[in-house]
Chain A
Amino acid sequence: MDKKEEMETAGSYTAKMGTGTTIRARVLDKNGNLIEDLGIIVGKRTKRDGNRARAALARLAKNYKGGKHGS
């Protein structure tokens, strides 16, 4: 990662015990193939990665079939 790149948190981040904790997430299909790499969903990340994650989440939401429907 470029050290000069501007940083952001995934959202409003409050320092608590566990500060610095990060959670990364990769969404896979039923065969284990990567659908979306969301990167850091909790914790500090670059703005570029944040934008990428937001776009990925929007794509997942668009393809969401709802609660009891099939894959």
Chain B
Amino acid sequence: MAVDDVLVVNGGRGLVVEALLNLGAVAPAWLQWGVGTTATAAAQTDLIDKTDCDESRVDGTGSDTQEAIFTYRVKETITKAGAGAIIRELGTFNADGAGGPPVSGGTMFLRAMFDAISLNVGNAIEFTVDTLVTAT
């Protein structure tokens, strides 16, 4: 069965409010991947499992899209290094993180789970994450 799960977590909702109040919120434009298989939950603050996922976060430089101005887009490529892995989750963060590898820290805005993507070393995934600001 296909996996399809995405959630703007509590930290992400806080960033939206901070932005509206002009409190210096930094755009969640950094992407990081993992191999976790736990369903999304609002209280989550990080990816679930980063085994063999020592790659740095990449800065996707958030933007609105040409297609719809109510869409926040983060687009960037992560390249697999060190070891192959079966990628199953993705998070967007407001910082490049620290420590590790794998890195952690910053505020996670969104976490998503999807069908397993089997990556060998040197392979990469170009992600385009479009978060819609909907009224329904």
Binding site for B on A (CB under 8 A): 9-14, 16-30, 32, 35, 38, 41-43, 50, 53-54, 57, 60-61, 63-71
Are A23 and B118 in contact, with the CB atoms below 8 A?
no
In the complex, whether B23 has a CB less than 8 A from a CB of chain A is no
**Inter-chain contact total with CB atoms closer than 8 Å:** 141
Tell me the dominant secondary structure on chain A's binding face: loop
In the complex, whether B130 has a CB less than 8 A from a CB of chain A is yes
A-B contact pairs, 5 of them (CB 8 A): A10-B114, A30-B124, A57-B115, A66-B84, A71-B123
Are A23 and B7 in contact, with the CB atoms below 8 A?
no
**A18-B8, A35-B123, A67-B84 known; A25+B117 contact, CB < 8 A:** yes
Inter-chain CA distance A12–B5, complex, in Å, is 8
Inter-chain CA distance A71–B79, complex, in Å, is 12
Q: Which residue of B lies closest to A20 (CB)?
A: B132
**B85 contact from A13, A22, A67, Cβ within 8 A:** A67
Are A71 and B121 in contact, with the CB atoms below 8 A?
yes
A59 to chain B minimum Cβ distance, whole angstroms, is: 9
**Which residues on the A side are within 8 Å of B124 (C-beta)?**
27-30, 32
**A25 contact from B120, B125, B136, Cβ within 8 A:** B125
**Which residues on the B side are within 8 Å of A61 (C-beta)?**
116, 118
Inter-chain CA distance A65–B113, complex, in Å, is 22
B27 to chain A minimum Cβ distance, whole angstroms, is: 16
Are B6 and A24 in contact, with the CB atoms below 8 A?
no
Are A11 and B2 in contact, with the CB atoms below 8 A?
yes
Inter-chain CA distance A43–B132, complex, in Å, is 11
**Which residues on the B side are within 8 Å of A22 (C-beta)?**
128-130, 132
